[in-house]
Amino acid sequence: MSDETWLTQRERGAVWLVALTFRLAILIGRRAMRPLVALVALWYRVFDRRATRASKQWLERVHGRVPGYWEVYRHVRTFAQVTLDRVFLITDRFGGLTFGRTGHQLLAAQAASGRGAVLLGAHLGSFEAMRARGDEEELRIQIVGHFENARMINALLSRLDPGHTANVIHIGSDPVGVMATVKARVEAGDFVAILGDRTGLNERTTTARFFGAPARFPSGPFLLASLLQCPVYLVFGLYHEPNRYELSCEPFAERLDLPRADRAGALQAVVQRYAERLEHHCRLAPDNWFNFFDFWSSGEPTQAT
C-alpha cells in the first residue's frame, strides 16, 4: 500500500455505529467497554485483510520472525482500545486510567519561559493522552496535521468536546496560511504538536533507515521547526495493558538549523536522528505502532527537491 493511500482511504464503519459506541462508552465507562473492544478487534482480525497484513509485516520486522495469530490480534486490539480511550481523555474521564511521566518538567519549564516550542510525535500510542495531561497543567497545545482520512471520528469527538477543534490546525491546501498561524501561536508561547512519521499527498519526503530498511518520512515537520527557530521536543504516550499510559518527553534540539550550503544533507541527518529515536520507543511497545499500511513499500526513493 502506498503512503498516498492512507490519506485518501475512506473511514470504515457506519457513522451511527461509531457514534453509538462513543455514547455507550461515556454511559457505562471504560471497564465495561473492554469486552466490546475485544470483540471489535477480533472482527477486524478476522475480516480486515489489509490491516492484518500490515500488522504482520510490522511485527515480523520488529521481532525478526513471523508473528502468531493472537499477536496480530493483540496489535489490533491495542489500536482499538487507544482509539476508544480518546473519548475518555477528551471528556476528562480519567477514572480507571493511570499515567507514568518522564520529562514532563521540561515542558513545564518551557511554558514558564514564555517561549513556544514544537512537540514532535508519531502515530505511536496516544498523543491524546499527552495533550490531556498537558491541559491539566494549563499547557496550550495546538495540534497540526492532516485530518482528511479521519473526519468522521474527529467530528464525533468534537461533539463530545466542542473546544477540542479550537486546538487543531488543519494543514489542508494552504501551507502559507498554516505557517503564519503556527508562527503566531509559537510566538504567543503555545506548543505546536505535529507527527513526523506519515507523509501527505505530494509532500516532500526524506529517506532514513528505520528498522534496518529505508523508509520515507515527511520533510515538512522538520522544515517547519527550522523556520520557527524554537526548541523541539520528542513526545510519546505509550499504552500498556490494561489501563496505563507512559508519557515521555525528551529534548530533540534547542533549534533546528538547516544551513543553505547543505540543506539536504542537514535535513537527512535530522530525520535520521528522529527515525532512530522513534525506533527506540517503538521497541518499548511494538503494539502501539498504528500505521496500518506498508511503511516501507516505496523502497528507497530519491529525496524530493
Q: pLDDT tens-digit profile of 225-265?
A: 999 999 999 999 999 999 999 999 999 999 999 998 999 99
Average pLDDT over residues 16-36: 88
* Most confidently modeled range among 23-27, 68-72, 146-150, 151-155: 68-72
Q: How does residue 169 score in pLDDT terms, banded at 50, 70 and 90?
A: confident
- Supply the pLDDT for residue 299: 42
State the cell numbers at 252: 530533540
* Within a domain: 304: no
Burial of 178 per CB tally in 10 Å (0-12, 13-18, 19+): middle
> pLDDT at residue 106 above 50?
yes
C-alpha dihedral sign at 192, 221, 86, 62: negative
Instruction: Number of helices (H) and strands (E) in the chain: give both, helices first.
Output: 11, 9
Does residue 205 belong to any structural domain of this protein? yes
In a domain, 302, yes or no: no
Kind plus residue range of the DSSP H or E element containing 58 = helix 49-63
219, 304 contact by CB (below 8 A): yes
Mean per-residue pLDDT, 156-162: 62
Residue 295 counted as domain residue? no
Mean pLDDT of 277-293: 97
Q: Please say whether the beta carbons of 102 and 246 come within 8 A.
A: yes
Domain holding 219, by residue range, is 3-288
Q: Give a yes or no: residue 270 inside a domain.
A: yes
For residue 242, is the peptide bond before it cis, meaning its omega torsion is within 30 degrees of 0?
yes
CA distance 235 to 223: 18
- Does residue 293 form part of some domain? no
- In degrees and rounded to multiples of 5, residue 134 shows phi and psi of -65, -35
pLDDT-above-70 percentage for the chain:
83
Q: Considering its fold, how many domains does the chain have in total? A: 1
pLDDT at 166: 52
265 domain residue, yes or no = yes
Number of Cα atoms under 13 Å in the Cβ half of residue 289: 29
pLDDT for position 155: 63
Instruction: Give the pLDDT score at 302.
Output: 35
For residue 247, the cross-strand partners are: 101, 237
Does the residue 191 lie in any domain?
Answer: yes
pLDDT digits (tens, 9 = 90+) for 46-86: 999 999 999 999 999 999 999 999 999 999 999 999 999 99
Each residue of 80-90: b (16+ CB within 10 Å) or e?
Answer: bbbbbbbbbbb
